[in-house]
Amino acid sequence: MSAVRAVDVLADPSPLPVRVVPMRRRHLPAVLRIERQVYPRPWTMGLYLGELSLPSSRAYIVAKVGNRVVGYAGLMLGFDEGHVTTIAVDPALHGHRLGTRLLLVLAGRAVARGMRSLTLEVRVSNVGAQAMYRKFGFAPAGVRKNYYPEVNEDALVMWAHDIDGPAYAERLASLEAVLPSPTVLDD
């Protein structure tokens, strides 16, 4: 996709044709570009390379529109719980439900790998992300004081339990059903 076409597609308010693929080293320059736009203390190339070197306990994905990486997310897998380590979307595409798509894929991967619960931390001021997480069944469970020291902000700890049951599968199916276009998964 040429630069002009990429801009045209991203500016178009109609449903985006989104493809989600495993994060690879070749995606990292685009991931880091988004990372620098959305986080005051972005992760480094080395940190991502370290995470990608642990496929038995990590799952990282990117969302693409055409050939452009427009979002990414990561999951750390424990004994029976998954921890969402990161999720971010290109600020130019907020409102296109890319975060929902990414979290749907992560939740599905967590269930497929035997997880019973999901957890994450989110800035107490990020009410938009908290609203999305609540749709996925996450509920507040506590606060980590000054978790984000670079901005002097606390983190809200949220959990979603019983993700391996039929009720949670129905929740995910209902979230996917209202997306404006299908998400294509490439493994």
Catalytic positions are 121, 133
Q: Tokens at residue 169, please?
A: 């599968």
Amino acid at 140: P
> Can you tell me whether residue 34 is helix, strand or coil?
helix
What CA–CA distance (Å, rounded) separates 100 from 106? 10
What CA–CA distance (Å, rounded) separates 114 from 183? 23
Cβ-count burial 172-182 (b if 16+ within 10 Å, e if not): beebeeebeee
CA 50 to chain centre: 18
What CA–CA distance (Å, rounded) separates 68 from 30? 8
Sign of the Cα pseudo-torsion (3, 4, 7, 13, in order): negative
Return the closest-CA partner of residue 47 out of 15, 77, 85.
Answer: 85
